[in-house]
A and B are shown apart, each in its own frame.
Chain A
Amino acid sequence: MLRNFSRTPWLSLWAAALLASSRLVAAQNPTLQGHPDDYPRADIEYGAAIYAAECERCHGGDGDGVSGVNLRSGNFRNAKTDLQLRTVITNGFPTAGMPAFSKLDAPQLTGVIAYLRNMNTFDRGSVKSGDAHRGQLIFEGKGACLRCHRVEANGGRIGPDLSDIGANRSPGSLQRSLLDPSSQMFPINRPVHIVTRDGRVINGRRLNEDTYTVQVTDQDGRLLSLNKSDLKEFTILTRSNMPSYKDELTTDEIADVIAYLLSLKGQ
């Protein structure tokens, strides 16, 4: 009895959840109504491609392929936040015939949500996707990214290894990394400036830290584990050593580099 009672509103609720409506809402954080600028164009574009590959078969190019569901209308009654929408996509609705898309990784989910939130105004014809091959050439050539970063067996070790960056970062985050590196730096990867009690100066990047010790890689790529009690100075910097590529690369070149980075999914 309870179950019968429960199931009806459940289905209708979720059908309603998938029914779109009014205005653009925003935010790649799970805000209810963030600012539209919170969705980077790079994420929306990436999401459009994911949508075309994974969602369009049922929901259609205009988002109205499933009876009673119009994804273009933007406001999902019971998936108001992006976090809730993420759950909907990841878990699916078996009772409504929607499979779980648990295979989508975090950047792909971020992209498809950004696209869904902007579907009613976004012109897919305007997408000018970057080219991963061209991006690799820029990454290894003009951008000189390998001087600090490593991809598989190639490159430096001053910056974080990027071999699986495409499985961890959304296009929008990568774009911001290229334009404003400090804004996207993970706290654990922050640069450190250390002076030991015996006068040794170490500039490097934090790999791990606990209450009593810190593990870093220095500018020569050496792995060092230091007791904090042996340090005279230990500064964690919030500015990245990576330069901004805002004025170094064109918009198209940045799109190419992003496409290349997104292709790096690790092993």
Chain B
Amino acid sequence: MTMLRRIPYGLVLTLAALASFTLQAQVPVPPERLLNTAKEPQNYLIYGGDYFSSRHSQLTQVTPANVKNLSLAWVYQSPVAGSWQPTPIVADGIMYLTQRPNDVIALDAVTGRVFWTYRYNNAPDLLVCCGSNNRGLAILGDALFMGTLDGALVALDTKSGRPLWKTQVADSKSGYSITVAPLALKDRVIVGMGGGEYGIRGFIAAFNARSGKELWRFYTIPGPGEPGHETWEPCPPNPKTYCDPEAWKHGGASVWVTGSYDPELNLTYWGAGNAGPDYNADQRPGDNLYTASVVALDADTGKLKWHYQFTPHDRYDYDSVQVPVLADITFQGAPLKAMLWANRNGNFYVLDRATGKFMLGKPFVKVNWMSGFDAKGRPIQTPQPPGMPTYPAVQGGSNWYSPSYSPRTKLFYVSSWQNNGQLFGGTPIPYEEGRGFGGGVNQPFVPSADAPSRGIPGAPTLPNLRRGPINNWTDVAGHGEVLAIDPSTGEAKWRYSMIDVTDTGIITTASDLLITGGREGYLQIIDARDGKLLWKASLGAQMLNNPITYAVNGKQYIAAMAGLSLFTFALP
């Protein structure tokens, strides 16, 4: 295998410098390049932009002054219907992206013309809760890595799309799937397992990038004898409602958004999803570690260094699958190796990423499931009476779409859903392999004008992730906002409000552009310093992914997917 052959980094840089000429150098991507992405801002090599998942680009060609001149460079149209959630990666002029269910496409990042397409044949009878989603690829050496809906990890040759190896990670018949973009570091590729709505026992695993051999596995639900297992408490004698004595075996804690990596600490950080069943917490007494938590794992061994649980005993489907953003900041007058996290449960957190210590927690949207934190950072929970709305709703204050941190403005940027509530209801549900494991029902909450706490009787179900072209949502049921949060206080420095909600990630640039979108289908570029709109383009369909920016031959591009099309803009 030549996949990871070592190329002197100096040579790589020299080749990268040649990128300003007409022929783009195309070289493998050894681990050193992934460690030093800031030195080659023309490329977009990692799901989160870099190992810190800062999604902050050093490109500066497009500025607040000239952004008005952006024009369409090219469009790629996916032939596959359904929500399109991947973040493309770009390496040396080639863009790699996935499309439903598990196609991989390599195309010319200058023209959008396709070099090759790889089509993975998933097993029949897939069990996927929320559509045939895939969020992207990892690149290492001369291989691309993709998780599949039927629970496999595949490696592909970057030049041809030819499969190099395939490892079956878990059994899809039990509801395991991989939708997360893998994280490549050192000689390995790390993925997490989806399937929290099917009663899986979640885990994160690392695989040798050359062979596909599993190197370690960390279960996000500890087994008997392991620390944390006691948080899956035994059922009380004669419980009033159904209690599952083996709840930990199918307690969820799925992992479906890519983690981050601190090379100095050699820790990789991953968010774990909701507890299962989602809405009937009564049948799984205890805190239910490590559901709705972040875990810090040794990248070499997969051993747990620390954890923090955002939502103990989760009953609202508050997955903690947001991207962990790592930043070196000044906090209360002292330098801090921080982890910044705007959680689905509606709180913004600052954690010490070396120790997991809770430093700050503050709501960034309306929150009523908890009233504050105790001294250790544990939320004081205030479940709402039946029939009263819980804030935030099931889609959360934010969700899987990526935030950004700009070291220039020292602000953390997140797409949020404001004032969006939900009525939750739990129902007992014994586990059955392969069966949906929601354990309840919930519905969007549309406050009534004459009875704001009650909701409009007979109001239509609000559109969820797949809204149509008509906005039946309106500000009455919540609205979207891009927030610029100061990590030292947790307060928003500015807000950019939208009528509809947003599932679009954010990327910022060293020219202080903030690039994002929303369900309304506008690609929006905002001034990262003050939240003023600089430019927008109506792309005609909702954006459910993370825009990126990259450069080829000295020209900067901005790429964003809306509906079934990938639009790429550049200056003339």
- On A, residues with C-beta under 8 Å from B are 2-3, 5-7, 9-10, 13, 27-34, 78-81, 83-84, 86-87, 106-107, 110, 168-170, 172-173, 176, 180, 182-188, 207-212, 238
Contact = CB atoms under 8 A, between A and B. Distances in A.
Nearest to A33: B386
A13 B428 contact: yes
Given A7-B430, A106-B458, A184-B456, A212 B536 contact: yes
A227 B29 CA distance: 47
A107 B477 CA distance: 21
B242 A13 contact: yes
A28 B457 contact: yes
Interface of B: 241-242, 246, 385-387, 423, 425, 427-432, 440-443, 446, 448-450, 454-460, 469-472, 474-477, 497-500, 518, 520-522, 536
| Most B Cβ at <10 Å: residue of A79, A83, A110, A187 | A187
B449 A31 contact: no
A34 B476 contact: no
A4 to B, nearest CB: 10
B477 A87 contact: no
A175 B343 CA distance: 42
Given A87-B441, A173-B457, A212-B536, A9 B430 contact: yes
29 contacts: A2-B246, A10-B242, A10-B430, A13-B428, A29-B387, A29-B454, A30-B443, A32-B385, A32-B387, A81-B387, A83-B443, A110-B457, A183-B449, A184-B456, A184-B458, A185-B449, A186-B456, A187-B475, A187-B476, A207-B470, A208-B469, A208-B470, A209-B471, A209-B474, A210-B521, A211-B499, A211-B518, A211-B520, A212-B522
B539 to A, nearest CB: 12
Contacts of B449: 182-183, 185, 238
A118 to B, nearest CB: 16
Contacts of B458: 28, 106-107, 110, 168-170, 172-173, 184
A110 B457 CA distance: 9
A27 B441 contact: no
A2 B435 CA distance: 14
Nearest to A81: B425
7 closest A-B pairs by beta carbon, nearest first, are: A31-B387, A6-B430, A32-B386, A173-B458, A210-B520, A187-B476, A187-B474
Nearest to A31: B387
Nearest to A206: B474
Contact of A211 (B429, B448, B498): B498
A29 B520 contact: no
Contact of B455 (A29, A172, A186): A29
A135 B457 CA distance: 23
Nearest to A90: B441
A211 B504 CA distance: 15
Contacts of A2: 246, 431
Given A32-B387, A182-B449, A208-B470, A9 B423 contact: no
A30 B423 contact: yes
B425 A6 contact: no
